[in-house]
Amino acid sequence: MKILIIKTGALGDVLRTSFLAQALKDKYKKTNSKIFWLTSQQSSQFFINNPYINELIISGERDNLKKIKFDLVINLEESKEDARFTSLLKPKKIIGVFLNKNGEIEYTQETSYWFDMSMISRLGKEKADILKNKNKKTHRQIMSEIIGMDWRKYEPFLRLTDAQRKMAQEFSNKHHLSKSDLIIGINTGAADRWPKELSIKKTIEIIENLYKKYNTKILLFGGPNEIKRNKEIIKLAESPIIDTGCGNNLVEFPALVSVCNIVITTDSLGLHVALALKRKTICLIGPTSSSEIDLYNLGEKIIAKSKDVCSYKTETDCMDKIDLNEIKTAIDKILKQKITLLITAFKEPKTIIKAVEGALAQKTSRKYEIVVSAPDNETLDAIKKHKNLKIFKDPGKGKSYALNLIFEKLKTDILILTDGDVFISDNVVENFANLFLDSEIGCATGRPIPIENKKTKYGFWANFLFDSAHRLRKKAFQQNKFLECSGYLFAFRKEFIRKIPLDVAEDTLIPYLFWQKGYKIGYSENSRVYVKNVDNFRDWINQKIRTSKAHETLYKYVDIKTTPRIKTFKTEAKGFFSLFSYPENFQQFWWSSLLALSRFYMWMKVFYDTKFKKKHYQDAWKRVESAK
């Protein structure tokens, strides 16, 4: 299926609409859809690293599209030129703006909610303004409803290239910025269409307050029209300001925004860039619509105390009615992340004690809570003496089932998951808290360590597999590539995960969900989780088959074409030679040979079970005795 999206401007609108490509890929994944996007030369920079767009076409090259027979064209532009072009393509279906037989602009029923509020509203400008003022839906919700998809699932996508990350690092090095610094970007100017900029006086007041209270590093952003404005801000402010310049192009600008932990911005391009980069964002809103703006759980809106909010007046002083105290409150809220360490267990009265003691012994200044979930009384009774735990007795239907029940009740920012049959190092909470200061990190994993040495076959196997996983995760993290998490210890931003399907493991699925939204997956190699491994082949093969089957249903929930599965027979076969470079003596070389044969048998069993017997992974508590 061939789909064309026409969205050329304004720049912020193009970026916030970018999630449509991923949503359409998901909607039509059974048709092997191909997404084309027609945009301006300027906007094209936003799509350089977007895996959901098959072909990007610049407006000046649009005639090349006339040769293609499209199944669907979605035109979100209001111009007569774009409407005419849409109609000329004669696709099987049009969504959005087109020219009717009389050469007049029309829009389809699916888009009436959006365009009824626009300059081309069939209801007239007066009625359109009333509807816009009454609207309570976000832009994301409206666009998602146009194509019939769940609006909560997708976000604007902007993944930096390696060149942009290098640019950001060089800027940080030049200005002596470190990961331990609180870096706040100030972007309070705006384009000329509506008076959305914050006054110079108020901008300086924000900067002085931030520096005094948080000792923050301030980065000042601006566009070509704000050169004079920013010079005056720097001149009049007493606090040190790092000037990012006002001439950055759309490759440089996102790279510099990515240096920030928090961005304070008006409703402008800077807002959409910050949000697409997953930066914590405080948006200052005046004459434009606050309802349309979606912050994707990444920040707070500060709305002017003025009757001119959402008036779209070209002359108003409503931005002067922004309460600066609300900005300080919003920053405090962003900085005070709630951390929860959740231990799930099943019939583990002996090992749960050590797991809980490890959770309680964390060396950190951060406040965190510990929740223990188990279906059986013997496990819960074993930790009764610890009063500062929250206990959840699950119904015993499986780990994912229990997690879904906990997710409904648990209010936290960072959720760390581990198990009742392992124990963690004393730096896990501190390390994960520091890692998540980078708001681009959506999910992160610790490093499993086997408690066995290499002197036995199963101990050698465990050490090789864990060491190999460590090497691959470390390399992927350093290269900003996708990596899988370990179910023994991983963490994620809780507000983005509402429910887990029961036919795929949570540690398998969650990293993909974050990665496909544009987040990075982190690796905290010094956050260690100590694991007792199996000591017989029956337990080993059953455990590995179950783990591998948990990946077989991924295709139902994520796009494994844009983010291929890591755990497959094909990818594992590529590591064949590393298996035989690991042994230190003949005994270990023989064990490596047995491991290769055992892994091959495992994959054949997985293939046979899933393809022929139709026996797939299902959530349930499974106890492996020799691993306890």
Intra-chain end-to-end CA distance of the chain, in Å? 51
pLDDT tens digit string along 470-481? Answer: 999 999 999 999
pLDDT of 628 strictly over 80: no
CA distance 164 to 162: 5
Token look-up 């190699």 returns: 525
Region 264-276: what's the mean pLDDT? 95
| Confidence (pLDDT) at 496 | 92
Region 526-547: what's the mean pLDDT? 94
- 355-389 burial, b at 16+ Cβ within 10 Å, e below that, comes to bbebbeebebeeebebbbbbbbeebbebbeeeeeb
- Left (φ > 0), alpha (ψ -120 to 50) or beta: where does 396 sit? left
pLDDT of 320 strictly over 80: yes
Q: Do the Cβ atoms of 506 and 400 come closer than 8 Å?
A: yes
pLDDT of 232 strictly over 90: yes
Task: Please name the residue ranges forming H helices in 382-456.
Answer: 399-409, 428-435
Q: Do the Cβ atoms of 514 and 447 come closer than 8 Å?
A: no
CA angle 503, 507, 510 (to 5 degrees): 85
Tokens of 334: 């962003």
The packing angle between helices 586-611 and 457-478, to 10°, is 70
pLDDT of 452 strictly over 90: yes
pLDDT tens digit string along 340-393? Answer: 999 999 999 999 999 999 999 999 989 999 999 999 999 999 999 998 899 999
Model's pTM, two decimal places?
Answer: 0.91
| Confidence (pLDDT) at 566 | 85
Q: 422: pLDDT confidence band, cut at 50, 70 and 90?
A: very high
Strands 414-419 and 390-393: unpaired
| Confidence (pLDDT) at 576 | 76
The number of beta carbons lying within 10 Å of the beta carbon of residue 476 is 16
Domains and CATH numbers, the chain: 2-147 (3.40.50), 162-335 (3.40.50.2000), 339-627 (3.90.550.10)
pLDDT tens digit string along 390-409? Answer: 999 999 999 999 999 999 99
| Confidence (pLDDT) at 624 | 74
Tokens of 527: 């956050």
pLDDT tens digit string along 41-90? Answer: 999 999 999 999 999 999 999 999 999 999 999 999 999 999 999 999 99
| Confidence (pLDDT) at 15 | 97
Q: pLDDT > 90: what percent of the chain?
A: 85
pLDDT of 167 strictly over 90: yes
Sign of CA dihedral 207, 208, 209, 213: positive
3-class DSSP state of 158: coil
pLDDT of 574 strictly over 80: no
pLDDT of 627 strictly over 80: no
Tokens of 237: 């402010």
Q: What is the mean pLDDT of the chain?
A: 94
| Confidence (pLDDT) at 621 | 78
| Confidence (pLDDT) at 321 | 94
